[in-house]
Amino acid sequence: MQEGLAKISVEEKKIDENEKKLNDNLGYLSKEKIQEYRKKISDGRAKLNLEKEKINNTLEQKKSLEGIKAQLEKGLAELKNASNTLEDKERNLSNQEKEYNEKYSENLNKFNVSYEKLKEAKIKLVKGHKDISKVKMELQNKKNDLDKKKKYLLKPAYVVGTRYDNNAFLTLYNNIKSTKIMCYLFPACFFVIGLFVTVTTMIRFSTEQRVTIGVYKFLGYKNKYIIKKFLIYGLVPTIIGLFLGSLGGTIVLPKIIAPTLVVDFIPIFKNIKIYFVPTYSIVIAIAFILSITIAILAVVIKQLNEKVVDLLTGRENEKGKRILLEKSILWKRLNFSKKILFRNLLKYKGRMFMTILGIGACTALIYLGISLHYSISDITRYQYNKVKKYDAVVYFQYDAPIEKKEEYFKNISKFSKIFKLYTVPVKYSKDGLDYQLSHEYLISNNDEDFFNFKLNQNESVISIKTSKILHKKKGSNITVYDIYNRPNKINVNGVFKNYIYQYIYTKDTTKEPNAVLVKFNNKTKDIEKLLDNEIVYSINTKEDTKEFFEKQIKSLSNVVVLMIILGASLSFIVTYNLGNINIIERKRELSTLKVLGYRKSEMYLYIFREIFILAIISTLFGLYIGRK
């Protein structure tokens, strides 16, 4: 290697000399020769460097091998020393093994005895662990039950409730409040119609007594005595009627109507005491007496101003006037009977308007009564077919475990659709009164199968009656109170139609259900399948609820029917009085027609045709007013 390095050094010197010569002779050589020589010089240098690098690498490997050799020699020396040490240790290990084998048999016997004792102890320990786990589980279950019951334990607080917190009283109150329109409208209508009937009756009576008035005047009686006589005739029956009506309205009618309003209530609400309110009777009496007095004075004074001979002979002073229809082309196309008909209708304008007003008011009253009857008769059908579409609602016991509830849901889901609820009674205050309602949290998501609305999480809706009482609408806030009078603020996201009771619905799927709505899959509604004495507290079916409210509605319907009958009776009396006045005032005209050869049937038609036409017009007018 050293020789190779020396030769490489000699060659490098030769290359340097050749490169120097080349540089000295650059002016005498061509470019091609110069490049050729330089290339040879460069290649020579590269080969020398490569050989030089190989020799250096070999020298490095030599040094590395020499180091390894030294390490191997050192390791052989250490191995020789370790071999000597190992032989010593093997001798010691042989002695220890002999000693170990001697003690092994002795310790093995002791271990077997201890192992048997350990197995017995382990069996006892496992049994003890099982007993401890069982006791822990029992204690945990008892703790969970106590924690759950703790939620329902009444706190040491005083709760002040009003009579409106009583469901029976609240239902009675709502029933009476629902008849408020009848309590004001029907008496007002009857009062007006009663006045009208009384006034027409006195006009008829005074008209019938024309001849008597003529006789009194012929005999020299002064006008004030004649008026006094007719006032006595009119006011005595009126006062007697007011007295009997006050007794009947205070004692008889309430005993007929009141039992229908308190049907199926607890006995304390059925023992209704009736009190006489003299203010109403005094106001009604004054109104009737003044109206009758004015009517009698108007009719009698008008007749007293007539001549005695006209009163005795029944002559009418009113002259026939042409009507507007006579100036039209249609008048010439009408026959004699129709011309008389139109002349009589338009001639007695006061009687025509009285007939239309009287019969129209009675018709409006009857129409209103029938409308109320049929509007409230369908309440339960709409409530339990369109608002709350379920067959039964099951309430759970307050301490029923959630595991049992889930198992119950799984079982009844095989034959029905279910909707989980958490329901709690709440109340709100308005104008000093507390109104009860049910706050129901919707836990399931199939809202459209059971209700007439769809809610998202944490949204709330209120019934339309609640909205009207509180004057709240979508976007408003209401505050309700629980049994401890703790407030709960609710954002109203909508108002839904509801016909029975009042509700707040809130979507909250995090609540634990305490009730479930059930809709059977088939028409066979076997309620017994819903029974579970372990967790079910009560079951309310749609039929039972409907039956209760239908009884309430039927009781209100009986009141409406009574009002319809009274309205029809008043209509009959009004028609009779006005028809009778019509005949009395036209005796001479009817006698003339009879002399002219009118048959009996034609005479009836002559009179009743006008009544029929006025009755039809009055009925149409009454239907329009009643609808409005």
Distance CA 83, CA 543 (A): 105
Residues 369 and 626: their CA atoms lie apart, in Å, by 9
Ordered DSSP codes for 385-409: IIIB--SEEEEE-TT--HHHHHHHH
As a dihedral over the C-alpha atoms of residue 73, residue 75, residue 79, residue 82, rounded to 10 degrees, the angle is: 130
Mode of pairing for the β-strands spanning 515-520 and 392-396: antiparallel
**Rounded distance between C-alpha atoms, residue 359 and residue 567, angstroms:** 10
- What is the tens place of the pLDDT at every residue in 64-122? 888 888 888 887 788 778 777 877 777 787 777 777 777 777 777 777 888 788 888 88
**Residue position matching structure tokens 């002399």:** 595
The pLDDT value given to residue 179: 64
First to last CA, the chain: 132
Structure tokens at 566: 């009274």
Check residue 40 and give its pLDDT: 80
User: Which DSSP helix (H) or strand (E) runs through 427?
Assistant: strand 416-430
Tell which wins on pLDDT, 223 or 310. 223
pLDDT of residue 506: 92
126-144 pLDDT, tens digit per residue, is 888 888 888 888 888 777 7
User: Tokens at residue 357, please?
Assistant: 């007003």
Q: Which DSSP category does 171 fall into?
A: H
Mean pLDDT of 327-345: 67
Query: Residues with Cβ < 8 Å from 295, sequence gap 6 or more?
Result: 198, 199, 202, 203, 234
Q: What is the mean pLDDT of residues 362-390?
A: 74
Count the Cβ atoms, other than its own, within 10 Å of residue 585.
17
> pLDDT class for 317, splitting at 50, 70, 90?
very low
Report the pLDDT averaged over residues 234-262: 77
Question: Which tokens sit at 276?
Answer: 């006489």
Quote the DSSP letter at residue 535.
Answer: T
pLDDT band at 330 (very low <50, low <70, confident <90, very high): low
What is the greatest pairwise CA distance in the chain? 190
What would the mean pLDDT of 580-606 be, rounded to a whole number? 74
Q: How confident is the model at residue 579 (pLDDT cuts 50, 70, 90)?
A: confident
What's the pLDDT band for 432 if we cut at 50, 70, 90? low
Interval 303-316 mean pLDDT: 74
pLDDT (average), residues 366-378: 73
The Cα 55–Cα 3 span in angstroms is: 10
SS3 (DSSP) at 437: strand
Distances (CA, A) of 194 to 60, 228, 378: 140, 23, 32
Q: What is the pLDDT of residue 377?
A: 67
Helix ranges (H only) for 219-335 are 223-247, 253-261, 267-270, 278-304, 308-313, 330-333
Average pLDDT value for the chain: 77
Q: How confident is the model at residue 271 (pLDDT cuts 50, 70, 90)?
A: low
Cα–Cα nearest to 607, from 626, 624, 593, 625: 593
Give me the residue label for tokens 């390490």. 71
User: pTM for the complete prediction?
Assistant: 0.51
Query: Tokens in use for 411?
Result: 């079982």
| Residue 508, pLDDT above cutoff 80 | yes
Bridge-based pairing state of the strands 460-463 and 503-507: antiparallel
* Phi and psi torsions of 54, nearest 5°: -65, -45
Q: What is the C-alpha to C-alpha distance for residues 141 and 404, in angstroms, rounded to an integer?
A: 14
- Strand partners for 479: 489
When mean pLDDT is compared over 175-189, 301-315, 374-388, 483-497, the highest value belongs to: 483-497
pLDDT tens-digit map of 143-162: 777 776 665 555 555 556 66
Cα(2)–Cα(388) distance, rounded to whole angstroms? 113
pLDDT on residue 260: 60
What gap in Å lies between CA 177 and CA 316, rounded to an integer?
54
| Percent share of the chain, pLDDT over 70 | 79
- Give yes or no for a contact between 271 and 328, defined as CB atoms under 8 angstroms apart: no
Does residue 512 contact residue 422 with C-beta atoms inside 8 Å? yes
Please determine, for residue 569, whether its predicted confidence score (pLDDT) is greater than 50: yes
**Predicted local distance difference test score (pLDDT) of residue 182:** 65
For residue 316, report the phi and psi dihedrals to the nearest 5 degrees: -95, 130
**What confidence score (pLDDT) does residue 341 get?**
67
Is the pLDDT at 5 greater than 80? The verdict is: no
Structure tokens at 70: 């030294």
Residue 51: pLDDT over 70 = yes
Residue 277, pLDDT above cutoff 70: yes
